[in-house]
Amino acid sequence: MLADEFGGNPYNKAEHNRNLQQIINRPRSAIEFKHQNISAVLKALGEIWIDGYKPLFNYQASLEEAVVAWLDGQTSWLDRPAQEASATGLGEAEPLWIGPPPTLSNQPPPDELEKAQATARKFDVAGRDERNRKLGKAGEKFILAHEKSTLALQGRKDLAEAVRWVSQEDGDGAGYDIASFTKDGDSRLIEVKTTNGWERTPFHISRNELAVADARSQNWHLLRLWDFSRKPRAFELTPPLEGYVSLTPTSFQASFG
């Protein structure tokens, strides 16, 4: 059903439920709740879920493990096509909704957030997104087109033509992915972090990226793309990042004295 929904194909939830009732001998309500549990696990894992099954976070560890095992065996699903955007054209790209960062004003219930964060840590969701080079590149390409289109629509085609995809042209060591501009010509250095999950999916950030953010705090921006494979949305963070997120060391370099 999730694959059909993602692909825009019709499906019948009620019929699916009736078929399962015959197979597993459970009532309709129990099957409905279990699908909501599956949605919650998928949400915690930074994946999309069926819109009609609102996430219900009272899931057990066994379901968590089962969903992870299923995902591990579905490489075609995890490698599904990402959003495409023109990286060279200066015409209007698909509009991107950029909203406020997640804050206490829109925080989910504490028990749900805690459960989701625990699952994300357990299965290293941030590391999975970081290792998905195809996802990261697609997100950067999308933002590159967005920046060019925005500048062109603001009457700054000259600046749009000067926007650079730094991570592709110069490598990953700059501490940002895209060198863009404000409409007034000020430098706008953008580090793109992309996920197919919800807006609170955790992400990795490198020591070098943090150093550049600190050194060039007036120009550096972290643009978080979320729900990327289905309906891309975004928010921006500016230094100091500690005003928005908790930075947790996940590894240490061991040196001999």
**Is residue 168 pLDDT above 80, yes or no?**
yes
Q: Which among 228, 245, 247, 225 has a CA at the least distance from the CA of 236? A: 225
Residue 43 has pLDDT above 50, yes or no: yes
Report pLDDT digits (tens) over 8-35.
Answer: 899 999 999 999 999 999 999 999 999 9
pLDDT value at 105 more than 80: no
pLDDT at res. 89: 46
Confidence band (pLDDT; 50, 70, 90) for 90? very low
What's the pLDDT tens digit per position in 202-253? Answer: 999 999 999 999 999 999 999 999 999 888 999 999 999 998 998 988 777 7
Give backbone dihedrals phi and psi of 150, rounded to 5 degrees, phi first: -60, -45
Q: What share of the chain is helix, strand, coil (3-state, %, to 5)?
A: 45, 10, 45
The pLDDT of residue 88 is: 43
pLDDT at 151: 97
| Among candidate residues 72, 79, 33, 26, the one with its CA nearest the CA of residue 56 | 33
The phi, psi pair for 239, rounded to 5°, reads -60, 145
